[in-house]
Structure 1
Amino acid sequence: MPREPATNKRLSPRLHHELPVSYRTVGSFLSDWATDISRGGLFINTRKPLPVGTAVRVLVQLPQRERPIDLGGRVTRVAEVGNAVNTAPGMAVEFTDLDGARRRELEELVDRLRTVLDPD
Structure 2
Amino acid sequence: MLSTPFSSLGSHDSDDSALSLDKMKSCAILAVPTEPGGPVKFPVSSSLRHKGKAFDLDAAREVITLLGINGEPIGSLSWDFIIDQILAYRKPQASRETRNDPRVTITFGVKYIAPEGQQFESRASGIGGGGLFIESLRPLPVGTKLALEFSLPEHPSEWLPAKGLVAWVCPKADQYTFSPGMGVRFTEINPDIRNRVLELVKSVQPV
State TM-score, norm by structure 2: 0.48
| Residues 1-120 of structure 1 aligned to structure 2 (within 5 Å) | 1-2=48-49, 9=85, 11-25=100-114, 26-65=116-155, 66-81=157-172, 87-112=178-203, 114-115=204-205, 119=206
CA distance in 1, matches of 2:144, 2:164: 8
- Measured against aligned partners, the alpha-carbon deviations of 1:28-58 in whole angstroms (never above 9, x if no partner) come to 1101110111111001010010100000011
Which structure 2 residue ranges, 5 or more long, are not aligned? 1-47, 51-84, 86-98
CA distance in 1, matches of 2:192, 2:177: 37
Contact 2:162/2:190 (<8 A) preserved: no
Residue type of the partner of 1:58?
L
What is the count of residue pairs matched by the alignment? Answer: 112
The 3-state SS of whatever aligns with 1:94 is strand
Higher radius of gyration, 1 or 2: 2
Matched with 1:6 is none
CA distance in 1, matches of 2:102, 2:195: 15
Higher share in strand? 1
Runs of 4+ in 1 over 6 A off after TM superposition: none
Alpha-carbon shift at residue 102 of structure 1 (Å)? 3.3
Range 32-41 or range 60-69, more displaced:
60-69
Alpha-carbon shift at residue 67 of structure 1 (Å)? 1.5
Contact 1:55/1:74 (<8 A) preserved: yes
The 3-state SS of whatever aligns with 2:167 is strand
Residue type of the partner of 2:162?
L
Q: Report which structure shows greater RCO (CA 8 Å, sep ≥6).
A: 1
- Give the percent of matched residue pairs that are identical in Structure 1 and Structure 2: 32
CA distance in 1, matches of 2:176, 2:104: 21
Which structure 1 residue ranges, 5 or more long, are not aligned? 4-8
